[in-house]
Amino acid sequence: MPNEKPHVLLITTDHWSAPLLGEAQHPSILTPTLDTLARSGTRFTNAYSECPVCIPARRTLMTGTTPRTHGDRVFKTTELMPNVPTMAQTFRDAGYQAYAVGKLHVYPQRDRIGFDDVLLDEEGRPHLGAIDDYDLFLADKGHPGEGFAHGMSNNEYSFRPWHLPEECHTTTWAARQMSRMIQRRDPTKPGFWFLSFRHPHPPLVPLQSYLDLYRDIDIDAPHNSDWSRAFDELPYALKVNQGSNAHLKGENILRIRRAFYALCTQIDHQLRLVIGTLREEGLLDNTIICFTADHGDMLGNHGLWAKRLYYEHAANVPMILLGGEENRVAHHTIDDRLVGWQDVMPTLLDLAGVDIPDTVEGQSMLSEKRRHYLYGECGENATACRMIREGRHKLIYYPVGNRCQLFDIENDPRELHDLAGAESHADTLAHMSMHLMSDLYGGDDAWVQDGQLVGLPDQEWSPSANRNLSGVRGLHYPTPPQINADKVAGLP
């Protein structure tokens, strides 16, 4: 008997900020597919990654829990998944077939976390114990171990065109494998499909044809502020970020952005294959679709790069939802409620009519109940930072040096004006600081004395060497690196 339950397609990317959409009025980026999907559904403009770095964010996504519950606010490469129901297992228990393609970022790498099957692309991490399916694909195509032969690093902003045929690009591979997964579905069961693209996370290696698309487009320059230009007055965590990237400047930043946007547009276009497969298989009208990202990338804004920060370009992520009952997911709609990645699991289960496990801490983005504030936490070392987002304001806290920043996101979305020292906002700062202190736990409790934030002593910053070129990979043939996993915990 044909399935009558809705199918679910969850699409995630890595390093994609919420502003990087044509529908968000970005002046340069080309995202025609996502723009059409956004107009065909609801775009949530205040969606945040609770911990804006890959592994903790993905644990939140797949369990519907916060870092405090799932146990990672750092980047624990060898941490087992928490003993709670995952999104995939919950769908399977409800009669769904569950398949994933791309980046899972779990340990062990071949832990399916509830999926029936996973075609894995782990960004060249065989040292953690598994040869992934994308590497096997490259070998079958006559390019064994050459996935990183372009020479670009996984955590820096050097760039060049892709070095292998188009069909061998990881973005192309992921879209085609997901399309085939959908074609090979069991027609008697609903499908839960998770498509997890590795890019636009560096290495910045787009196809030449996508670089060419941006040849005649003016690339937007990064924005800066008085507070971000005053290097000596920055919190220690920001000195580390700015200082290690001080060599990125001028026209080179625009070239980096062009390469980054090219990777985004390539993903956008490849999504058309997946949507087209759903349409031609007669499934599209009965498929719930969610597009989002684990975190963003500062891309030079305020002189900062990458993630692990709570400014909008690092923590505010795209969240597009469409499909399901039209009276629940409206089209041509923008929703400004405050949501986090913990809310994706309960939202999709809610739309599919599947019971939400009691362990889930998030809430459906379609419920009448709205969150008053969202707490974010990232890191436990000297560069740790915390966030409270409430109403129109955002509080960012750096314990080293006991530094607070306060921004009016509604009137100042680029965070150009730090209001923490403004007498007119003293009550707001005190109110949001109380929320922050109430959410601290573990070693963070030491940051509070007598009901006040005292933080930790400030530190002096000095440049450090980068001999590993920010996690550059080598040739993974004939023998990929096999290192004892507990020796590499924390490697990028």
Residue 282 pLDDT > 50: yes
Given the DSSP bridges, would you call strands 287-293 and 319-322 parallel, antiparallel or unpaired?
A: antiparallel
pLDDT at 327: 75
Confidence of residue 483 (pLDDT cuts 50, 70, 90): low
Percent of the chain with pLDDT over 90: 94
Banded model confidence at residue 314, pLDDT cuts 50, 70, 90 = very high
Average pLDDT over residues 9-34: 98
How do residues 136-152 score in pLDDT, each as one tens digit?
999 999 999 999 999 99
pLDDT digits (tens, 9 = 90+) for 398-448: 999 999 999 999 999 999 999 999 999 999 999 999 999 999 999 999 999
Reading the block at residue 214, the tokens are 């941006």
- 8-22, 234-248, 320-334, 449-463: least confidently modelled range: 320-334
Residue 117 has pLDDT above 80, yes or no: yes
Q: Say if residues 484 and 73 touch (Cβ distance below 8 Å).
A: no
Q: Is 492 a residue whose pLDDT tops 50? A: no
Question: Which pLDDT band, with edges at 50, 70 and 90, does 481 fall under?
Answer: confident
| pLDDT value of residue 326 | 66
Smallest CA-to-CA distance from 152 within 202, 114, 105 is with 202
Q: How confident is the model at residue 216 (pLDDT cuts 50, 70, 90)?
A: very high
Q: For residues 475 and 146, is the Cβ–Cβ distance under 8 A? A: yes
CA 53 to chain centre: 7
Residue 200 scores a pLDDT above 80: yes
Q: Where are the domains of the chain?
A: 7-373+472-487, 383-458
Q: What is the pLDDT of residues 181-197, one digit of tens each?
A: 999 999 999 999 999 99
pLDDT band at 485 (very low <50, low <70, confident <90, very high): very low
What is the reported pTM? 0.96
Mean pLDDT across the chain: 95
Distance, CA of 431 to CA of 404 (rounded, Å): 13
- pLDDT-based confidence at residue 462 (cuts at 50, 70, 90): very high
Tell me: the pLDDT tens digits for 246-281? Answer: 999 999 999 999 999 999 999 999 999 999 999 999
Average pLDDT of the residues in 190-212: 98
pLDDT at position 2 is: 54
Please tell me the least confidently modeled range out of 12-21, 160-169, 210-219, 316-325: 316-325
CATH topology assigned to domain 7-373+472-487: Alkaline Phosphatase, subunit A (3.40.720)
182: left (phi over 0), alpha (psi -120 to 50) or beta: alpha
How many CB atoms lie under 10 A from the CB of residue 104? 25
What is the predicted pLDDT for the residue at 39?
Answer: 98
* Residue 178 neighbours by CB distance under 10 Å: 27
Predicted local confidence at residue 488, as pLDDT? 47
Q: pLDDT-based confidence at 480, cuts 50/70/90?
A: confident
pLDDT exceeds cutoff 80 at 113: yes
How many beta carbons lie within 10 A of that of residue 479, not counting itself?
A: 9
Tens of pLDDT, residues 166-184: 999 999 999 999 999 999 9
Fold classification of 383-458 (topology level)? Arylsulfatase, C-terminal domain (3.30.1120)
Q: Which two tokens stand for residue 146?
A: 């050459």
Place of tokens 């997901």: 178
